[in-house]
Amino acid sequence: MMASADTKVKKLESYIELYHQEIFEAIKIDDIKRLKDILDELDRHKPPTIKKKVLNMGYRKVGDLTALSVAIEKEHKLITETLAKCHEVDVNKASLLGITPLLLVAEVGWLDILNILLQRGALVDAAPFGKLAEYNKIAGLTPLISATKYNHPECVKCLLAHHANPNHQNHSGISALMLAAEQGYFECVKLLIQAEAYLELAPSGLVALRLNLYGQTPLFCAAKGGRTDIVKCLLVCGANPRVQTNNGVSALWISSQKGFLEVVELLLNAGAETHVAPFGYRADKLTITGWTPLYAAMKSRKFDVVKLLLKHGANPNAVTKFCLTPFLLACKICDLDIIEACIVAGADINFTLSGSNANDLNITGETALFIATLKDRIDVVKFLIEKGAQVNIQNHCGVSPLHLCAKSGNQELVQMLIQAGANVNIAPQGKIPIETLLAVETPLIAAAKKGHVEICEYLIQNGADVNAVTMTGVTPLYTTTEEGHLDVVILLIRHGADINQSPKGHVARDLHIENQTPLLIAYINVTSERGSSPFLTICQHNNVELARLFIQHGARHDIEVKNVFNRKINGLIVAVESSSIDIVRLLIEVGLDVNYKIEGEDETAGRTPLFCACVKGLQDIVEYLIEQGADVNGTENSGQSCLHIAAAMGHADIVRILCEHGANVDQQFHLEGKDVTAYDLAKSLQHDHVCQVLKSFNARQSLHCELSSDPETN
């Protein structure tokens, strides 16, 4: 008996599974005839409970949706209608996610099917819930919200007639009215308002915070979407025009930022406040803290909205967290029409950026004129000056608009500022300029450094001091010489620049430029023999014209200075080290000693110009110096001769020239406890080609062992 019962149960289960699968296959291919045949067969041959079970079983492949839900989802309307009318079908059977047939029909928008389901007892406010629904972002989604989302006003009307809750909010806090307002579904909005949907209902809670929805009322959503008719409707019905989200973003702010002029005008006329600005953590994160609707519209270049807001009293001087105002932003944008509108509305033309955030952004002290100057906008600068902008304003680094123009090379702006009263000798002062080495740098020094000769001339004509000195001791002549601007050098000398003035004091000393005259820096290469010089120079390009000009105007060409190794050198030494044959010739011609020796206590003490040329292998300079009487057997203080260093460096051609001009091939100096010759050095360093040259001049080898060090670095 037991076995027989088990067999019947299994047979019944197989029937159920078979019919269940056949119904699913019929729905998939939209075969209404096949479906009806199956239903008739179930009616004829099986008990009613079998049919009910088959029709209300969920299909695992589609998330446990029933046959009715599958038919709706596939939008097979005839099959849907057939199943919806079948009294065995449970119209409230939900899937694993909580999705009901009524929710699906509301989404599709079939009003007749909706009515059938409601008449059969479908729950009008049934909605998915739980973690699975939340994960799939459908938690709290009612048929009314779904019908609204897909703009099916007839379905919305029907659901409301069946007492659907117009104020239900989904898991994120979104209501049907909020959704309709944002999407611009005007008919749905009217129906929901008629059903007494709350006009101020807005998302709240942690989920709303995370999704940045907190506090967004239907009016806010309509304003955000630029839905003019809906905004007007909501305001007429009493919606609050001053509504703000939790971080201070108002309906007026969002519509201003997006440039919805008509919406902005509606909100302003309804009493929206122009001074309200975002605040708090999220506003900080978005860097919009303190942005008024006017600033937001300005930032988005919505200039028609800007003008409207200004007419309604918006403040052009409202300061953001980062210290900017709408007026200063207008000057950054450089729209003259908007700048003028801001001034008419009361903009402070000389407002100065200040505060810790301005310091962090390095903009403290900047004004509208300063900003316009940075942008090289002649028209804006001219307008601001005409309106009373202070031309001698300085930022926190002491830089003035004139300094900026002189440096950038905008001559027209330079002339305009000077004609408006700019101080031609204005210069940075105070702690920050001292820290940044800008202290006392006049506009002329800035222009000279960049080689703007016409600007330099105009500044001088208007009283600029040609011998002004910075905190580092640098003059206009010094800096333009350093940069190699010959035309500016000529101009400055013609106007009385002191050609022998050189940097003095502890700052110059720290920078290793103390006592370096303009002529001397004209000799110095980008790097010296040992990479010590910090200066760009003219002689790097072998430009002797500048050096000759200095000498012709009385520059001291015999001056000596100490370099970074504390050794005393002159122009001839650095000219040789820069490989500048023309400079070398010039200095010998004007009387510098061809056998001058470096003074000091390091390993280079006692070196002559010829020795330095031998180190570098400069054949043309070596030949010239010898022709001018250089001592080929002169030694540095260590006793090392020109021939020694040339042999050690592997310069065979230099070795030959020295030998041909009487160099002592057997001269020795003390190295590693031994007396060594040039041949010993070449042999030890495996310069075989040098050894061959020395042998041809009867050089002898005094050592029979290897040396461990290089005489150049010893």
- pLDDT grade, residue 523 (50/70/90)? very low
Nearest residue to 126 (alpha-carbon basis) of 98, 95, 84, 89: 98
Instruction: Determine which helix (DSSP H) or strand (DSSP E) holds 225, and give its type and residue range.
Output: none
**Does residue 581 contact residue 542 with C-beta atoms inside 8 Å?**
yes
Examine the pLDDT at 397 and tell me if it is beyond 80: no
- pLDDT grade, residue 493 (50/70/90)? confident
* Residue predicted with more confidence, 223 or 211: 223
Calpha distance 545→528 (Å, rounded): 21
Percent of the chain with pLDDT over 70: 86
pTM to 2 decimal places: 0.72
Examine the pLDDT at 3 and tell me if it is beyond 70: no
- pLDDT grade, residue 383 (50/70/90)? very high
Calpha distance 94→422 (Å, rounded): 80
Tens of pLDDT along 543-555?
677 777 777 777 6
The pLDDT of 476-502, averaged and rounded, is 83
- pLDDT at residue number 539: 41
* Residue predicted with more confidence, 540 or 272: 272
Calpha distance 133→130 (Å, rounded): 5
- pLDDT grade, residue 358 (50/70/90)? very low
- pLDDT at residue number 9: 64
When the pLDDT of each residue in the chain is averaged and rounded to a whole number, the result is: 86
- pLDDT at residue number 641: 94
* Residue predicted with more confidence, 30 or 672: 30
Calpha distance 223→301 (Å, rounded): 18
In sequence order, which residues have a C-beta less than 8 Å from that of residue 33 and are 6 or more positions away?
none
- pLDDT grade, residue 524 (50/70/90)? very low
H-type alpha helices, 318-386? 326-333, 336-344, 356-360, 368-374, 378-386
Give the side-chain half-sphere CA count within 13 A for 702.
Answer: 15
> 476: helix, coil or strand?
helix
Examine the pLDDT at 529 and tell me if it is beyond 50: no
Q: At what angle do helices 453-461 and 411-419 cross, to 10 degrees?
A: 10
The pLDDT of 555-569, averaged and rounded, is 70
The pLDDT of 496-514, averaged and rounded, is 65
Give the side-chain half-sphere CA count within 13 A for 78.
Answer: 10
Long-range contacts of 16-21 (CB under 8 A, 24+ apart): 16/50, 16/53, 16/54, 16/57, 19/50, 19/54, 20/54, 20/57, 20/59
* Residue predicted with more confidence, 568 or 451: 451
Fold of 10-165: 1.25.40
Residue 535 corresponds to which amino acid?
Answer: F
Exposure string of 192-228, with b = 16+ CB inside 10 Å and e = fewer, is bbebebbbebbbeeebbbeeebbbbbbbbbbbbbbbb
Identify the weakest region by mean pLDDT among 115-124, 340-349, 424-433: 424-433
**Does residue 102 contact residue 117 with C-beta atoms inside 8 Å?**
yes
The pLDDT of 581-606, averaged and rounded, is 88
DSSP 539: G
In sequence order, which residues have a C-beta less than 8 Å from that of residue 66 and are 6 or more positions away?
55, 56, 57, 58, 59, 89, 90, 93, 95, 101
- pLDDT at residue number 694: 95
Fold of 593-696: 1.25.40
Examine the pLDDT at 361 and tell me if it is beyond 90: no
Q: Where are the domains of the chain?
A: 10-165, 593-696
In sequence order, which residues have a C-beta less than 8 Å from that of residue 686 and are 6 or more positions away?
none
- 57: alpha, beta or left? (left if phi > 0; alpha if psi -120 to 50): beta
Examine the pLDDT at 527 and tell me if it is beyond 50: no
**Does residue 135 contact residue 120 with C-beta atoms inside 8 Å?**
no
> 519: helix, coil or strand?
helix
The pLDDT of 100-107, averaged and rounded, is 96
DSSP symbols for 10-69: HHHHHHHHHHHHHHHHHHHTT-HHHHHHHHHHHHHHS-HHHHHHHHH--BGGGTTB-HHH
- pLDDT grade, residue 509 (50/70/90)? low
Exposure string of 268-301, with b = 16+ CB inside 10 Å and e = fewer, is bebebbbebbbbeebbeeeebbbbbbbbbbbbee
- pLDDT at residue number 485: 85
Instruction: Determine which helix (DSSP H) or strand (DSSP E) holds 694, and give its type and residue range.
Output: helix 688-696
Examine the pLDDT at 705 and tell me if it is beyond 70: no
- pLDDT at residue number 544: 75
* Residue predicted with more confidence, 387 or 552: 387
Identify the weakest region by mean pLDDT among 235-239, 249-253, 519-523, 568-572: 519-523
* Residue predicted with more confidence, 122 or 705: 122
**Does residue 141 contact residue 106 with C-beta atoms inside 8 Å?**
no
* Residue predicted with more confidence, 303 or 499: 303
- pLDDT at residue number 432: 57
Distance from the first to the final alpha carbon of the chain:
113
Identify the weakest region by mean pLDDT among 350-359, 546-555, 670-679: 350-359
Calpha distance 346→365 (Å, rounded): 20
In sequence order, which residues have a C-beta less than 8 Å from that of residue 349 and are 6 or more positions away?
327, 343, 367, 368, 369, 384, 387, 388, 389
Which tokens hold the place of 71? 């038919």
Calpha distance 177→201 (Å, rounded): 9
Q: Which of 263-267, 376-380, 635-639 has the highest mean pLDDT?
A: 263-267
The pLDDT of 617-638, averaged and rounded, is 94
User: Tokens 């004509």 appear where?
Assistant: 461
- pLDDT grade, residue 580 (50/70/90)? confident
- pLDDT grade, residue 624 (50/70/90)? very high
How far apart, in Å, are the Cα atoms of 100 and each of 24, 76, 79, 124, 496? 17, 16, 17, 10, 95
Identify the weakest region by mean pLDDT among 120-134, 529-543, 551-565, 665-679: 529-543
Give the side-chain half-sphere CA count within 13 A for 360.
Answer: 6
Q: Which of 9-13, 52-56, 198-202, 565-569 has the highest mean pLDDT?
A: 198-202
- pLDDT grade, residue 541 (50/70/90)? very low
CA 419 to chain centre: 37
Tens of pLDDT along 116-158?
999 999 999 999 998 998 899 989 999 999 999 999 999 999 9
Calpha distance 328→268 (Å, rounded): 24
DSSP symbols for 236-295: HTT--TT-B-TTS-BHHHHHHHHT-HHHHHHHHHTT--SS----HHHHHHTT-TT--HHH
Identify the weakest region by mean pLDDT among 103-107, 135-139, 337-341, 459-463: 135-139
Tens of pLDDT along 177-190?
999 999 999 999 99
Bridge partner residues of 670 (DSSP):
675
Backbone angles phi, psi at 175, to 5 degrees: -105, 170
Provide the Cα torsion 443, 447, 450, 451; round to 10°. Answer: -160
The pLDDT of 273-278, averaged and rounded, is 93
- pLDDT grade, residue 250 (50/70/90)? very high
- pLDDT at residue number 511: 58
User: Tokens 């505060």 appear where?
Assistant: 355
The burial of 9, by beta-carbon neighbours within 10 Å (0-12 exposed, 13-18 middle, 19 or more buried), is given as exposed
Instruction: Determine which helix (DSSP H) or strand (DSSP E) holds 100, and give its type and residue range.
Output: none
Exposure string of 73-83, with b = 16+ CB inside 10 Å and e = fewer, is beebbebbbbb
Calpha distance 268→309 (Å, rounded): 8
**Does residue 711 contact residue 648 with C-beta atoms inside 8 Å?**
yes
